[in-house]
Amino acid sequence: MTDSYDLLIRGGLCATPNGIAPADVGVKDGKIVAVGALGGAKAAEIFEAKGLHVLPGVIDTQVHFREPGNEHKEDLESGSRAAVLGGVTAVFEMPNTYPPTTTHAAIEDKLKRAAGRMHCDYAFYVGATPANVGALAALERLPGVCGVKAFLGSSTGTLLLDHEDAILAALKGGTRRMAVHSEDEARLRERKNLAVRGDVRTHPVWRDVETARASTERVLRLARQAGRRLHVLHVTTAEELPLLAASRDFVTVETTPQHLTLSAPECYERLGSYAQMNPPIRESRHREALWKAVSEGLIDVIGSDHAPHARADKDKTYPDTPSGMPGVQTLATVLLDHVNAGRLTLERFVDLTSAGAARLFGIAGKGRIALGYDADFTIVDLKAKKKIENSWIASKCGWTPFDGMETTGWALATIIRGRIVMRDRALTTAGQGKPMRFVETLAPNST
């Protein structure tokens, strides 16, 4: 064991697979090389973490950074800057861009755009379409790809996979875990007239519980038929949870901080269309059901579904307003506030925001503080109490639905592969992000 490190994180309470306890962490060449009592060690850089918690780097498994095509709302640089300012060390970025990320060329384009500009590590989803289902098995194995994403109901962008035969073909066309936005497109079309002009409170009436439940029931049936692992994104309803619980041999489940924190109709009355997202924020009984699912282990990961829109778009008249809200920068502090309120243990926070993502998607070398892993850390002050403010938001949209909310628990530093990229709410090292690697695609691509 070496006693000289590139970085020594000293004196913190460290969340390792062995529990949360005092420990120092030694880093060399971007990797964790020592965990324990390292007080006498030398290091090129020392981070004094007394009174702080040293957590595995937070991984946000659902962000929309809008590039290419909508860079006025967000781009890979600004979105990743927001991520590291909030304590996030890595992101999965979504395919509903313009053009959509549905081809080898589109993936290569995103990787080129990200190089030298993104501040956190990253991977990109490939979007499933009726036209590319035959290519998905090859596309999902490309470097820098985290998997396939299918929109079963229309949302932001043009991606849609709504016919049963096409959904089944996509499920059969690959082996990695496939992520889905689960809303029933036929029902959305039938009920569109229930979206009352000028009344965003009708958003969850139009995109109702049955729209989500029926879609999830169908895709679970098809995934079982195809023998495919499935990941259901941003689950919002109490009615979906028993279906998901009955399918745990192949399905994993994600929800968002928004759906665990906000509820209808209050959020629409207070925020208007700024509370509009797909699937919608629903009444409090669904929020409480989601919290029960968290406590019972049914929720595997929490992703922000960061989906920023310009104020000019959000200020239009519903339903001409776009769905989506920013969230990557507030993910950690909103959830740490729930930790302080007793709704979540810190160990469960770690599982939902780092270890869970690494386990589900097979991220190589990330998700825990252990020897040989990437030196990714989110260092937090659990006692810090501050107000979330629009002025803090680095996203180009410049707003957050949590503006004015006081939270307890804040990320003070973001460390990625041994580099301190954020400290005391300021970016310290720019453009150091790299593509994540995945266990299932480490071997050279044979296609």
**Does 446 have pLDDT greater than 70?**
no
**Does 2 have pLDDT greater than 80?**
no
Could you give all domains of the chain from N- to C-terminal order, each with its CATH number?
A: 4-54+370-427 (2.30.40.10), 57-361 (3.20.20.140)
Q: Distance between CA 177 and CA 174 in Å, rounded?
A: 9
Of 445 and 237, more confident: 237
Q: What is the mean pLDDT of residues 211-234?
A: 98
The percentage of the chain sitting over the pLDDT mark of 70, rounded to a whole number, equals: 98
Of 444 and 269, more confident: 269
Cβ contact 6:31 at 8 Å = no
Using a 10 angstrom Cβ sphere, with 0-12 exposed, 13-18 middle and 19 or more buried, the burial of residue 313 is middle
Grouping H, G, I as helix, E, B as strand and the rest as coil, residue 210 is: helix
In tens, the pLDDT along 356-409 reads: 999 999 999 999 999 999 999 999 999 999 999 999 999 999 999 999 999 999
> What pLDDT score does 170 carry?
96
> What pLDDT score does 404 carry?
98
> What pLDDT score does 192 carry?
96
**List 75, 305, 351, 381, catalytic entry:** 305
Cβ contact 229:178 at 8 Å = yes
Backbone angles phi, psi at 6, to 5 degrees: -75, -40
Q: What is the mean pLDDT of residues 231-260?
A: 98
**Does 85 have pLDDT greater than 80?**
yes
> What pLDDT score does 21 carry?
97
Q: What is the mean pLDDT of residues 264-292?
A: 98
The 3-class SS string of 111-149 reads HHHHCCCCCCEEEEEEECCCCCHHHHHHHCCCCCEEEEE
Cβ contact 398:89 at 8 Å = no
**Does 73 have pLDDT greater than 80?**
yes
Mean pLDDT (the chain, rounded): 96
Grouping H, G, I as helix, E, B as strand and the rest as coil, residue 165 is: helix
- Strand-pairing partners, residue 325, are 306
Instruction: Transcribe 265-307 into DSSP letters.
Output: THHHHHHGGGG--SSPP-BHHHHHHHHHHHHTT---EE---B-
Q: Distance between CA 355 and CA 366 in Å, rounded?
A: 8
Q: Distance between CA 377 and CA 49 in Å, rounded?
A: 12
> What pLDDT score does 106 carry?
98
* Sequence-separated (6 or more) residues with CB below 8 Å from residue 163: 130
In tens, the pLDDT along 126-178 reads: 999 999 999 999 999 999 999 999 999 876 656 899 899 999 999 999 999 99
> What pLDDT score does 142 carry?
97
> What pLDDT score does 40 carry?
85
In tens, the pLDDT along 321-361 reads: 999 999 999 999 999 999 999 999 999 999 999 999 999 99
pTM, to two decimals: 0.97
**Does 447 have pLDDT greater than 50?**
no
> What pLDDT score does 267 carry?
98
> What pLDDT score does 444 carry?
61
Is 305 one of the annotated active-site residues of the chain? yes
